[in-house]
Amino acid sequence: MKGLIRVERWLLGPGGALPRGTCMKPFKRGLLVAASVLLGSTQASAADRPFNPSIFGTRAVVACDPVEKSCGMAVISFPSGVSGLVPYGRSDVAVATMALPSVDDAQAVIARIDSGTAPQEAIDTVLASDPYAPIRQLAAVKLHPDGSVTVGQRSGSENSEHTCSIKGDTFVVQANNMSTPDMCRAMADGFRQARGSLPQRLYASLKAGARVGGDRNGERSGVIRVWNSTIETAFYTHVLAEAVVHGSTRALQELGVELNRYQGTLADVFPADRVTLDADTARDVKRVLRKLGYYHGRMDGSWSDAAEQALYDFAWNNLFFLKPTVVENGTRKIDGVLVHFLRDADLGAFVRATPSAD
Q: pLDDT for 137-153, tens place per residue?
A: 999 999 999 999 999 99
Residue 184 predicted with pLDDT over 80: yes
pLDDT, tens digit, 9 for 90 and up, residues 207-219: 999 999 999 999 9
Other residues' Cβ atoms within 10 Å of the Cβ of residue 84: 12
* Cα angle for residues 89, 93, 98 (degrees, 5° grid): 55
Name the 3-class secondary structure at 78.
coil
Q: Which is nearest to 297 in space by CA: 316, 284, 310? A: 310
Q: How far apart are CA 107 and CA 72, in angstroms?
A: 15
Report the mean per-residue pLDDT for the chain: 88
Q: What is the 3-state secondary structure (H, E, C) of 292-325?
A: CCCCCCCCCCCCCHHHHHHHHHHHHHHCCCCCCC
Residue 333 predicted with pLDDT over 80: yes
Integer-rounded Cα Rg, in Å, for the chain is 24
Q: What is the mean pLDDT of residues 289-300?
A: 97
Cα–Cα distance list, 309 to 293, 304, 326 (Å)? 12, 9, 13
pTM for the predicted model, two decimal places: 0.85
Lowest mean pLDDT among 25-29, 213-217, 291-295: 25-29
Other residues' Cβ atoms within 10 Å of the Cβ of residue 27: 17
pLDDT for position 52: 74
* Distant-in-sequence, close-in-space partners of 271: CB < 8 Å, separation ≥ 6: none
The dihedral built from the CA positions of residue 110, 112, 118 and 119, taken in this order, carries a sign that is: negative
pLDDT for position 137: 97
* Distant-in-sequence, close-in-space partners of 314: CB < 8 Å, separation ≥ 6: 289, 292, 294, 350, 353
pLDDT for position 38: 32
Torsion of CA 83, 87, 90, 94, to 10 degrees: -160
pLDDT for position 17: 41
pLDDT, tens digit, 9 for 90 and up, residues 300-318: 999 999 999 999 999 999 9
Q: Give yes or no for a contact between 344 and 282, defined as CB atoms under 8 angstroms apart.
A: no
pLDDT, tens digit, 9 for 90 and up, residues 88-115: 999 999 999 999 999 999 999 999 999 9
pLDDT for position 161: 83
Q: At what angle do helices 279-291 and 336-343 cross, to 10 degrees?
A: 50
* Cα angle for residues 160, 164, 170 (degrees, 5° grid): 140
Lowest mean pLDDT among 31-35, 55-59, 60-64, 193-197: 31-35
Q: How far apart are CA 272 and CA 332, in angstroms?
A: 14
Q: Which helix (H) or strand (E) element contains residue 287?
A: helix 279-291
Q: Give 45's pLDDT tier (boundaries 50, 70, 90).
A: low
Residue 36 predicted with pLDDT over 70: no
pLDDT, tens digit, 9 for 90 and up, residues 253-266: 999 999 999 999 99
pLDDT for position 189: 98
Distance of CA 113 to the CA centre of its chain: 21
Residue 44 predicted with pLDDT over 90: no
Q: Which of the given ranges, 79-83, 161-165, 279-283, has the highest pLDDT on average? A: 279-283
Q: At what angle do helices 2-12 and 26-38 cross, to 10 degrees?
A: 160
* Distant-in-sequence, close-in-space partners of 51: CB < 8 Å, separation ≥ 6: 10, 100
Q: Give yes or no for a contact between 166 and 183, defined as CB atoms under 8 angstroms apart.
A: no
pLDDT, tens digit, 9 for 90 and up, residues 56-73: 789 999 999 999 999 999
Q: How many residues does the chain have?
A: 358
pLDDT for position 50: 73
Q: Give yes or no for a contact between 330 and 266, defined as CB atoms under 8 angstroms apart.
A: no
- Sequence letter at residue 52: N
Pairing of strands 136-143, 149-155: antiparallel
pLDDT for position 356: 55
Q: Bigger pLDDT: 69 or 161?
A: 69
* Distant-in-sequence, close-in-space partners of 78: CB < 8 Å, separation ≥ 6: 55, 56, 57, 58, 215, 217, 218, 219, 220, 221
pLDDT for position 47: 52
